[in-house]
């Protein structure tokens, strides 16, 4: 081996040693825990001087970075102008006595599917209040198909239960209006109406 060759090979070995040492000391900490912040060799634009959702901000009087919409703001598709459709009751407070959307087989199937997702855990697949969380979790849910008072609920009242929640039952704001009415149609079918 020439002298140059020997020098190159020594350098190679030194590099290998240095790399092994670096991994032994710094890297390969997989699975172990550390209280120090992670090493971030290439930060890109990951950390920026900006406010994130739920951050505090001394800039606004209420101390919150997230701003409420300007009063009266209506987001697209959220103009809830029809009280019967969106609350289950007319402006004078009378409950909707009929479902304000056209109910066909597709809507009924949708209602059955959504009921299975959102209501069945408590009320049971048959609506009798014996869902898994009632049976195993001990959360009593109303018997929608056996309690005479609930059998007599107007469609608007069933809608309202989803809209506002009642007792231990949460409000289901995340179910879109049409789906809620589809669920009402399915509940009425379960009730044999
Ligand atoms: C977390 C369990 C839970 C879930 C999920 C749930 N409910 Fe309920 N529901 C209850 C309980 C508990 C009551 C009885 C509340 C009370 O009377 O205090 C109730 C009551 C009701 C009532 C009767 C309201 C009244 O006027 O007395 C209706 C109607 C109803 N639920 C429909 C639904 C529908 C439709 C869904 C699905 C979108 C649903 N519930 C999901 C627990 C639940």
pLDDT of 165 above 60: yes
Q: How far is the CA of 107 from the centre of ligand 1 (A)?
A: 21
Per-residue pLDDT band at 150 (split at 50, 70, 90): very high
Q: Ligand 1 in contact with 183 (CB < 6 A)? A: yes
Predicted local distance difference test score (pLDDT) of residue 117: 97
Q: How far is the CA of 127 from the centre of ligand 1 (A)?
A: 10
Q: Which atom of ligand 1 is nearest to the CA of 175?
A: 38
Write the pLDDT tens digit of every residue in 121-148: 999 999 999 999 999 988 889 999 999 9
Give the span between the Cα atoms of 63 and 86, in whole angstroms. Answer: 33
Mutate to test the pocket of ligand 1, among 166, 171, 178, 183 (most ligand atoms within 8 A of CB): 166
Q: Distance between alpha carbon 155 and the CA centroid of its chain, in Å?
A: 26
Predicted local distance difference test score (pLDDT) of residue 109: 98
Mutate to test the pocket of ligand 1, among 112, 116, 121, 123 (most ligand atoms within 8 A of CB): 123
pLDDT of 28 above 60: no
Q: Which atom of ligand 1 is nearest to the CA of 149?
A: 27
CB 128 within 8 A of CB 136: no
Per-residue pLDDT band at 17 (split at 50, 70, 90): confident
Predicted local distance difference test score (pLDDT) of residue 73: 92
CB 141 within 8 A of CB 187: no
Predicted local distance difference test score (pLDDT) of residue 68: 87
Q: How far is the CA of 146 from the centre of ligand 1 (A)?
A: 14
pLDDT of 43 above 70: yes
Give the span between the Cα atoms of 169 and 125, in whole angstroms. Answer: 16
């Amino acid at each position: 081996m020439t002298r140059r060759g020997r020098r190159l090979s020594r350098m190679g070995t030194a590099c290998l040693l240095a790399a092994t040492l670096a991994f032994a000391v710094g890297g390969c900490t997989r699975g172990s825990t550390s209280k120090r912040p992670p090493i971030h060799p290439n930060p890109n634009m990951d950390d920026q001087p900006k406010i994130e959702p739920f951050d505090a901000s001394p800039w606004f009087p209420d101390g919150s970075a997230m701003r409420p919409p300007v009063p009266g703001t209506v987001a697209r598709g959220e103009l809830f102008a029809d009280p019967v459709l969106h609350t289950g009751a007319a402006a004078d407070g009378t409950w909707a006595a009929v479902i304000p959307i056209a109910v066909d087989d597709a809507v009924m199937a949708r209602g059955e599917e959504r009921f299975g997702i959102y209501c069945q855990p408590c009320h049971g697949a048959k609506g009798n209040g014996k869902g898994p969380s009632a049976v195993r979790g001990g959360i009593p849910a109303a018997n929608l198909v056996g309690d005479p008072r609930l059998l007599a609920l107007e469609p608007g009242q069933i809608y309202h239960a989803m809209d506002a929640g009642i007792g231990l039952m949460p409000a289901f704001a995340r179910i879109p209006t049409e789906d809620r009415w589809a669920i009402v149609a399915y509940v009425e079918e379960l009730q044999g109406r």
